[in-house]
């Protein structure tokens, strides 16, 4: 999952980035509203964390412009403005949630899971699953069900988790190498030419090659639950 953080306080931005990366998120950070104006149109982010007191275009105007331009990415406002009027305004202009600084990283992660879950599906569940593979965002494990109904747990690395999450959010859809790279790597990170194939290879050893299918020349998919 790829997150955009728009925050001009470097200490807060760096702390959020470190915390999210430790939980397998790809993170891009911007510190100016002007820089962030077109970012959600250029990259398909899964969630945006938005400060209100930004240089350039402030967070309120930025969010208004995104929604006017039909950017539907979930947005969580992160701000020190804790008045009820500020919260109501933020939600009314299109924010999906509102977190007041200082906040706990555990709470922020839960809110990110909640807003992205609502976007992906109306089915309010914690685990992503196609009936055979079930991904737990808390433990970062995948549960694998075999033909006999037995279930085994497999721990995943951060990149394995991020790649499998991207596939399980769209079961049945074939995701290209470029799409998977966008979900795993932030901009500025060097990506080796065979990086996705290497991650897929290791994932298949853990979950079974039959559970992650390659469509030659197109990409990879997990099957839909029958």
pLDDT digits (tens, 9 = 90+) for 93-128: 899 999 998 899 999 999 998 898 776 544 444 468
Which of 35, 28, 41, 34 lies closest to 57, judged by CA?
34
- 153: its two tokens: 């747990």
Residue 120 is predicted with a pLDDT of 58
- Separation CA 128–CA 14 (nearest Å): 29
Residue 201 is predicted with a pLDDT of 95
Rounded to an integer, the average pLDDT of 146-175 is 90
Rounded to an integer, the average pLDDT of 178-198 is 85
- Helix ranges (DSSP H) in the chain: 10-21, 33-36, 39-42, 59-68, 84-92, 105-120, 158-168, 177-184, 195-207
pLDDT band per the 50, 70, 90 thresholds, residue 23: confident
- Separation CA 223–CA 100 (nearest Å): 40
Mean pLDDT of the chain: 88
CATH class of 128-221: mainly alpha
Q: Which residues on neighbouring strands pair with residue 128, listed in sequence order?
A: 135
Fold of the domain built from segment(s) 2-120: Rossmann fold (3.40.50)
Distances from the Cα of 177 to the Cα of 19, 27, 210, 215, angstroms: 26, 19, 19, 11
Q: Check residue 56 and report its DSSP letter.
A: S
pLDDT at 211 over 80: yes
Rounded to an integer, the average pLDDT of 129-145 is 87
pLDDT digits (tens, 9 = 90+) for 63-84: 999 999 989 899 999 988 877 8
- Separation CA 103–CA 49 (nearest Å): 13
Residues 6+ apart with CB under 8 A from 193: none
Residue percentage of the chain with pLDDT more than 90: 57
N-terminal to C-terminal alpha carbon distance within the chain = 25
pLDDT at 88 over 50: yes
- 199: its two tokens: 């991650």
Q: Domain spans of the chain?
A: 2-120, 128-221
């Amino acid at each position: 999952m790829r997150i955009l953080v728009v925050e001009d306080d470097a200490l807060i931005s760096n702390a959020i980035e470190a915390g999210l990366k430790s939980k397998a998120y790809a993170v891009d950070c911007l510190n100016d509203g002007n820089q962030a104006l077109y970012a959600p149109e250029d990259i398909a982010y899964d969630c945006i964390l938005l400060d209100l007191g930004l240089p350039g275009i402030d967070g309120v105007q930025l969010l208004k412009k995104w929604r006017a331009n039909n950017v539907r990415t979930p947005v969580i406002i992160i701000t020190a403005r804790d008045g009820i009027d500020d919260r109501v305004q933020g939600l009314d202009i299109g924010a999906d949630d509102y977190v007041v600084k200082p906040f706990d990283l555990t709470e922020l992660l839960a809110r990110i899971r909640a807003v992205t879950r609502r976007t992906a599906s109306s089915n309010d569940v914690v685990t992503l699953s196609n009936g055979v593979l079930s991904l737990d965002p808390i433990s970062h494990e995948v549960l694998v069900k075999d033909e006999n109904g037995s279930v085994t747990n497999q721990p995943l690395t951060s990149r394995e988790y991020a790649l499998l999450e991207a596939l399980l959010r769209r079961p049945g859809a074939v995701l290209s190498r470029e799409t998977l790279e966008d979900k795993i790597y932030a901009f500025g990170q060097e990506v080796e030419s065979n990086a996705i194939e290497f991650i897929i290879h290791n994932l298949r050893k853990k979950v079974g090659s039959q559970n992650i299918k390659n469509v030659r020349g197109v990409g990879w998919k997990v099957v839909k639950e029958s």
